Amino acid sequence: MNWLTNVVRPKIRNILKRETPDNLWIKCPDTGQLVFYKDVESNQFVIPGSNYHMRMSADARLSSIFDNETWYDVALPEVPADPLKFRDERKYVDRIKDARAKTGLHDSVKVGFGKLEGSAVVVAVQDFDFMGGSLGMAAGEAIVRGLELAVEKQCPFIVFAASGGARMQEGVLSLMQLPRTTVAVQMLREACQPYIVVLTNPTTGGVTASYAMLGDVQIAEPGALIGFAGARVIEQTIREKLPEGFQRAEYLRDHGMIDMVVHRHELRPTLARLCRLLTKAPETIETAPEPASLVQPDEPAEPAAVPEAPPATPAAPPA
């Protein structure tokens, strides 16, 4: 009986077991609805029923912005991996290795250069999956390098912010990225090039206290959490109940902290329109070819009608 129970039945169970991907279904954080992953992916990671905006990876974000989903990855400066030799429950270098293996990124910020509706732009994206999008030396260098490239190319710079704040494992070196990125933003401003910030869910801490709130135009995705300190910390400090929707994108728009809240499906044309407006570039109008179903087949040309010659006038008789 033990042989049947311990050997035969597990083998039969393994044969009949069907492998199911871990991410086949996604649960909507807002409504709890289960949605097929492919449907969410094809919808730019927006839940179809509730319009809840899920987080996007850096590559997915860049693909959704650049023309033909193509761009050039910008080479970023190397920085010390663990300048403070920091260790808590685990070594900081081990956390970095795990985050790189999970996301395929070198650090939390990725910078690309390409075309947006025909116009050159530099785009930087913070990936929250990389240690909460925290701002460290490498991320600060990436933002600074992207701003410098925008100055060199004389084109707009767009940043998608998503961060929990400064990276505590780098201490004061992380906090130094706040003034460094602020100075780089000023360099772009002196070059008279647009700086557009898109705040995604969540954008908090030191990132909000620096380059994420310095844009010429401040855009946010619907429902994004934006703030410096957490709502619970604020309530405990001021000993008051915060209003409904506090620190959400719509609340901040209504109170003048950001300029607009744009749905992800409308984000690309909105950014392209803003870049043209701020750079005074002419709008490129592409004429679409006529559909094949509407094209009439060529017909043989009819011969042109030959006008009849006027009747000949009789010659006068000789005198």
> Is the distance from CB of 69 to CB of 61 less than 8 angstroms?
no
| Predicted local distance difference test score (pLDDT) of residue 126 | 97
**Cβ 139 vs Cβ 79: under 8 Å:** no
Q: In this predicted model, what pLDDT tens digit does every residue of 106-165 receive, in sequence order?
A: 999 999 999 999 999 999 999 999 999 999 999 999 999 999 999 999 999 999 999 999
Average pLDDT of the segment spanning 291-306: 43
Confidence class for position 2, pLDDT limits 50, 70, 90: low
Nearest-5° angle of CA 176, CA 247, CA 144?
25
- Alpha-carbon distances of 81 from 104, 174, 247, rounded to whole Å: 16, 12, 33
Domains and CATH numbers, the chain: 20-54 (no CATH), 56-279 (3.90.226.10)
Taking a C-beta distance cutoff of 8 angstroms, is the pair 98, 163 a contact?
A: no
Full-model pTM? 0.81
Distance CA 292, CA 79 (A): 55
pLDDT in tens, 237-260: 999 999 999 999 999 999 999 999
pLDDT at 276 over 80: yes
Rg (CA), the chain: 30
Q: How confident is the model at residue 281 (pLDDT cuts 50, 70, 90)?
A: confident
Question: Which strand ranges, in their side-by-side order, compose the sheet holding 195-203?
Answer: 72-73, 109-116, 119-126, 157-163, 195-203, 217-220, 260-261
Helix, strand or coil for residue 45? Answer: coil
At 66, the pLDDT band (50, 70, 90 cuts) reads very high
pLDDT of residue 13: 62
Flag whether pLDDT at 7 surpasses 50.
Answer: yes
Alpha helices in the chain (DSSP H): 2-3, 9-16, 37-42, 58-65, 92-103, 137-153, 171-175, 177-190, 231-238, 249-254, 267-279
Q: Which helix (H) or strand (E) holds 110?
A: strand 109-116
Q: What does pLDDT average to over the chain?
A: 87
Interior angle at CA 163, CA 229 and CA 244, nearest 5? 45
The arithmetic mean of pLDDT across residues 25-48, rounded, is: 91
**Mean pLDDT in residue range 294-298:** 40
pLDDT mean over 69-88: 93
Q: What is the rounded CA–CA span in Å between residue 260 and residue 209?
A: 19
Average pLDDT over residues 252-279: 96
Q: How far apart are the first and last CA of the chain?
A: 143
